[in-house]
Amino acid sequence: MPFIANTDEQRKEMLAEIGQTMAGLFADIPAEFMGRDFNIPAGISEQQVRNRLAELAGKNSIDLTCFLGGGFYDHFIPAAVYSLISRSEFYTAYTPYQPELSQGTLQAVYEYQSAICRLTQMEVANASLYDGGTAIYEAIMMALRVTGRNKIIIDDSVNPIYRVMIKSYTKNLNIQLEETCSSDGLANRKQILKKIDAQTAAVVVQNPNFFGCIDDFTDIAKAAHEKGALLLASVYPISLGILKTPGAMDADIVTGEGQSLGMPMSFGGPYLGFMATKKKYVRKMPGRIVGETKDKFGRRSFVLTLQAREQHIRRAKATSNICSNEGLCALTALVYLSLLGKEGLQETAKLCADKASFAYKRLTKIPKVKAHFKTKWFFNEFVLDLPCEAGDVIAKLIDKGFAAGFPLSRYYEGMENSILICVTEKRSKQQIGMLAEELENVL
């Protein structure tokens, strides 16, 4: 038990034991920070805290009909998901280092990895990362380790929030990060192929991309491989119910945001980053990997494999600084995928695609509302051009009860009138029609 000093006499005793004074103990803290009034209010009761938090929560608009996307999606979550993940034995994000005490948790992680492999058509997956953006960063660092190169090519159709995160993480690293400008909503082949050279570690793309446009990167993967580079693909997991998988495109590392797999649109998370790769690169993969084995009695068992705990505290030699995995979020994704099954996932994906197509056709019938891109191939979100600034229209539609979309001028120059609209399986024909009517009234 640690000794806690509760009285002046005990504090003096502790200071004497370590040969220190109270002033000396805090000598390293700058004087301007000592003795300051931090204006911390007096404590309040539990009931008062609850009332205050309820008052603050009441200011949130939680009753808006959601047509927001851009990387985070409002999907239906079966009640059984919460029922199962709320079991107390699952309430931990920590990795079970003692397999003899943690077979249930280890098996859950193993099954999650298996589900991600099947979903992406890749060979191995890890035990989850923090979110979709940091997953791409980890994939980039993995590509640098695999190739021994330092140049990364990333198209600007990759989620701009992810790109900001990547720039922040790599700012002080010896990484040559080059962006290409998308062409009509798709990855710019001409620029990408021109930039791939002997120093390129990887090309980073996304499907469907931030604009919702669908692409096939088989040709880019081939071009990258011919120069010894890797293809990194960020994917939207629900779309894989009907779209060509990154594995079928010969991607080398696949990442994505797992929020759409049973997690609500929280204000910032916690969310789930997933990663899968080819087996030949497994020793360069960050995070945790659970493997299947047999115990001395021949029974099916599960253990952490390939990577020892010490690998993640070896400073510069570690593959990553990720130590705790998003265990509960990974379990949520597994439960969601298990409840839907193959046919359920396909049906959900098809509903998203069909309803988005219906909304696209309905909204482009409004006078002066036009499609921004020529391509008609999109999954469940698309870009429209309005006759005025999109941000102003979105603000007015909030008053009408709609979170109508995302203003693209926030990240893309020259797109002040462009709006990104998302339609998932939760949106009804009636809601789409009401959005169209309110949009037409606002315009």
- Mark the ranges of the chain whose per-residue pLDDT is less than 70: 1-6, 92-95, 307-316, 321, 323-325
Are 167 and 307 contained in the same domain? yes
Q: What angle do CA 107, 108, 110 make, to 5 degrees?
A: 60
Are 106 and 188 contained in the same domain? yes
User: Domain end: 335, 368, 383, which one?
Assistant: 335
Are 69 and 185 contained in the same domain? no
Are 126 and 265 contained in the same domain? yes
User: Domain end: 335, 369, 397, which one?
Assistant: 335
Are 279 and 358 contained in the same domain? no
Which pLDDT score is estimated for 4? 59
Distance CA 382, CA 275 (A): 26
Question: Which residues, including other chains, have CB under 8 Å from residue 370's CB and lie 6 or more apart?
Answer: 364, 384, 385
Q: Could you tell me the CATH number of the domain that includes residue 156?
A: 3.40.640.10
Question: Which residues, including other chains, have CB under 8 Å from residue 64's CB and lie 6 or more apart?
Answer: 398, 401, 402, 403
The answer to whether 104 and 89 are in contact (CB under 8 A) is: yes
Are 347 and 268 contained in the same domain? no
Cα dihedral value 81, 322, 89, 303, nearest 10: 110
Are 319 and 356 contained in the same domain? no
Q: What share of the chain is helix, strand, coil (3-state, %, to 5)?
A: 40, 15, 40
Which pLDDT score is estimated for 1? 43
In a domain, 233, yes or no: yes
pTM for the model: 0.87
In a domain, 44, yes or no: no
Are 169 and 156 contained in the same domain? yes
The answer to whether 275 and 139 are in contact (CB under 8 A) is: yes
The answer to whether 205 and 233 are in contact (CB under 8 A) is: yes
Q: What is the DSSP string of 242-259?
A: TSPPTTTTT-SEEEEE-T
Are 210 and 349 contained in the same domain? no
According to DSSP, the β-strands at 230-235 and 253-257 are: parallel
In a domain, 230, yes or no: yes
In a domain, 304, yes or no: yes
In a domain, 393, yes or no: yes
**pLDDT, tens only, 200-223:** 999 999 999 999 999 999 999 999
**pLDDT, tens only, 394-415:** 999 999 999 999 999 999 999 9
Q: What is the 3-state secondary structure (H, E, C) of 155-189?
A: ECCCCHHHHHHHHHHHCCCCCEEEEECCECCECCH
Neighbour count for residue 226 (Cβ, 10 Å): 9
Are 425 and 382 contained in the same domain? yes
In a domain, 52, yes or no: no
Helices assigned H by DSSP within 67-131 = 79-85, 103-120
Tokens (6 digits) for 20: 């220190």
Q: Could you tell me the CATH number of the domain that includes residue 356?
A: 3.90.1150.10
Are 356 and 264 contained in the same domain? no
Q: Which residue has the tokens 């943690």?
A: 102
Domain count, the chain: 2
Tokens (6 digits) for 331: 């379990």
Which pLDDT score is estimated for 323? 61
In a domain, 38, yes or no: no
In a domain, 59, yes or no: no
Are 243 and 376 contained in the same domain? no
- Domain that residue 183 falls in: 79-335
Q: What angle do CA 334, 337, 338 make, to 5 degrees?
A: 80
DSSP label of 43: P
Neighbour count for residue 90 (Cβ, 10 Å): 16
Least Cα distance to 274 among 111, 50, 112, 166 occurs for: 112
Which pLDDT score is estimated for 167? 96
User: Domain end: 335, 358, 380, which one?
Assistant: 335
Question: Which residues, including other chains, have CB under 8 Å from residue 332's CB and lie 6 or more apart?
Answer: 81, 85, 261, 262, 263, 272
